[in-house]
């Protein structure tokens, strides 16, 4: 305009700039999820009735088409979608739990007629529609272009699609995260349409979404692409943000890769770690690509201290950058499946869900980490402000005298005792110090051990029984991130030998 540009040309350039900006903010994942698919459909298959105050419905859902029959043995994705409707639905919130399962359940067999414990607990206590989506991802799958011709499940199925994208980034729809995310979004469509047929039941307008492992990653992306309906998320054992440096951290700790990544190593995926193609893949599926979309979406992220896929400090790569309200929960003495901790984690998720649907205050917890210049001493200070106060705060700590490895399992040979890595987390109570602004600070310090590495974090327990006593909610645990001393990594990052 200062150059006396004609007004029409100026407006056209301004409009083009807006369109380009909108395109930048939209990814191929958005486009895939939002594209209409004539295959989408659902039907009522059966009803689960019994002597309990709810009725559950087994829906057969066709969520999406993905690739073609020339590319995949599963070009049409089908699922069991179990919808639990309490006898008295009190609100328009709903919970969606994304789960796994093999396709023969859909193609050949009847659903098992039972509810997942988390689904049943929430359906009974919340007075909301609680649903569980199965077959994420659809598996097993074979790929005609696969030279091994093997039937692939879980990581093997996903790894093949990663390799396809890394070889040809012009075909992002090949990434398995795309149909996994779209199926979860279509499940919400089906739930809303199905519940709309109940005259005395308020329809589900707001969803809290949860899932574990591959489904935890899908929880991140489902919240990102549908942040109008999804009002909170619970990604479990999937601290994958900023995935490239996050994964590199594993190489620097182990001088190689965990056995849990064998399916990705078989496809030579890690050889791309330092190449532009890997960053392009992250532009589509890394949760931090969609960070702005989590700004108004409370997050309760649950991670395992002994995970074979991730390190206990994996969340450190993105947690400070993550926008919006966020609560981290590190689970000690647990591997990737959280075996032995399912009830405790389930009760904490139940409490978090109730804080969302009842608009209850949630803990206001922040922390700071201080490390000495030589990296041999670390201090964590957790500060609790707001109205809620923890019943107690613990410092959890563990040590490995031999290497920087806190996995509970280091290989997948069930009969091999050398696969066990007996790392035990100990706990100490931490006393709070009142601050002048009314908050309370809790501090813990860790020195470099005489040999090996030590890891530690702080955990605060909050109880809601006094706020909603009839519900007898369990405790809600939040924690700081995990710090490992000494801070220096034992091995250098990989360059061309990843």
pLDDT attached to residue 470:
64
pLDDT attached to residue 440:
97
**H or E element in which residue 346 lies:** helix 342-357
Q: d(Cα 349, Cα 343) in Å, to the nearest integer?
A: 10
Q: d(Cα 89, Cα 485) in Å, to the nearest integer?
A: 50
Residues in the chain predicted with pLDDT less than 50, given as ranges, are 1-24
pLDDT attached to residue 101:
82
Q: d(Cα 161, Cα 152) in Å, to the nearest integer?
A: 11
pLDDT attached to residue 14:
45
DSSP code per residue over 33-74: HHS--TT-EEEEEEEE--SSSEEEEEEEEEEEE-S-TTT-S-
Q: What is the pTM of this model?
A: 0.93
Q: d(Cα 424, Cα 241) in Å, to the nearest integer?
A: 27
Burial, 492: exposed, middle or buried (Cβ in 10 Å; 0-12, 13-18, 19+)?
A: exposed
DSSP code per residue over 123-184: HHHH-SEEEEE--SS--SB--TT-TT---B-HHHHHHHHHHHHHH-TT-GGGSTHHHHHHHH
pLDDT attached to residue 21:
42
Chain Cα centroid distance, residue 145: 30
pLDDT attached to residue 119:
94
Helix axis angle, 154-167 to 276-285, nearest 10°: 120
pLDDT attached to residue 17:
43
**Of 440, 445, 433, which Cα lies nearest the Cα of 462?**
440
Q: d(Cα 276, Cα 269) in Å, to the nearest integer?
A: 13
- The region, left, alpha or beta by phi > 0 then psi within -120 to 50, assigned to residue 290 is alpha
3-state secondary structure of 197: coil
3-state secondary structure of 114: coil
Spatial strand order in the sheet of 129-133 = 41-48, 54-65, 76-86, 129-133, 93-98, 206-212, 230-236, 299-304, 326-331
């Amino acid at each position: 305009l200062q150059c006396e540009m004609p007004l029409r040309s100026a407006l056209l350039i301004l409009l083009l700039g807006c369109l380009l900006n909108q395109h930048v903010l939209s990814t191929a994942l958005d486009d895939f999820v939002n594209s209409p698919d004539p295959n989408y459909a659902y039907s009522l298959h059966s009803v689960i009735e019994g002597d309990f105050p709810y009725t559950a419905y087994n829906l057969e859902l066709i969520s999406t088409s993905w690739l073609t029959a020339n590319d995949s043995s599963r070009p049409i994705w089908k699922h069991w979608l179990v919808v639990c409707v309490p006898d008295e639905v009190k609100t328009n919130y709903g919970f969606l739990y994304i789960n796994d399962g093999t396709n023969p359940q859909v193609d050949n067999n009847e659903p098992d007629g039972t509810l997942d414990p988390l689904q049943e607990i929430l359906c009974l206590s919340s007075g909301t529609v609680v649903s569980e989506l199965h077959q994420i991802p659809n598996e097993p799958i074979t790929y005609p272009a696969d030279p091994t011709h093997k039937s692939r499940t879980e990581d093997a199925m996903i790894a093949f699609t990663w390799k396809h994208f890394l070889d040809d980034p012009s075909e992002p729809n090949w990434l398995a995260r795309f149909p996994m995310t779209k199926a979860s979004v279509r499940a919400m469509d089906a739930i809303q349409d199905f519940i709309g047929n109940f005259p005395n039941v308020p329809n589900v307008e707001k969803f809290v979404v949860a899932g574990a492992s591959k489904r935890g990653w899908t929880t991140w992306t489902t919240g990102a692409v549908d942040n109008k309906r999804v009002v909170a998320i619970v990604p479990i054992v999937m601290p994958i943000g900023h995935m490239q440096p996050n994964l590199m951290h594993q190489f620097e700790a182990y001088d190689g890769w965990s056995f849990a990544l064998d399916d990705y190593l078989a496809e030579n995926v890690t050889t791309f770690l330092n190449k532009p193609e890997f960053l392009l893949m992250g532009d589509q599926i890394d949760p931090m690509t969609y960070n702005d979309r989590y700004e108004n979406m409370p997050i309760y992220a649950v991670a395992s201290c002994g995970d074979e896929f991730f390190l206990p400090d994996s969340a450190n790569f993105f947690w400070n950058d993550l926008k919006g309200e966020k609560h981290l929960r590190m689970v000690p003495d647990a591997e990737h499946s959280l075996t032995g901790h399912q009830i405790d984690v389930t009760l904490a998720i139940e409490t978090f869900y109730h804080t969302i649907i009842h608009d209850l205050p949630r803990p206001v917890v922040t922390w700071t980490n201080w490390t000495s210049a030589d990296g041999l001493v670390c201090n964590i200070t957790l500060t609790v402000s707001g109205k809620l106060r923890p019943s107690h705060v613990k410092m959890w700590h563990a040590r490995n005298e031999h290497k920087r490895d806190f996995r509970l399992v280091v290989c997948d040979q069930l009969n091999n005792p050398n696969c066990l890595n007996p790392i035990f987390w100990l706990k100490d109570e931490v006393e709070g110090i009142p601050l002048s602004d009314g908050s309370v600070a809790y501090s813990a310090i860790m020195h470099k051990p005489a040999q090996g590495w030590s890891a530690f974090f702080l955990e605060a327990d909050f109880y809601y029984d006094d706020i909603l006593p009839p519900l007898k909610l369990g405790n809600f645990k939040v924690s700081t991130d995990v710090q490992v001393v000494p801070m220096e990594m034992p091995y250098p990052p990989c360059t061309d030998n990843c």
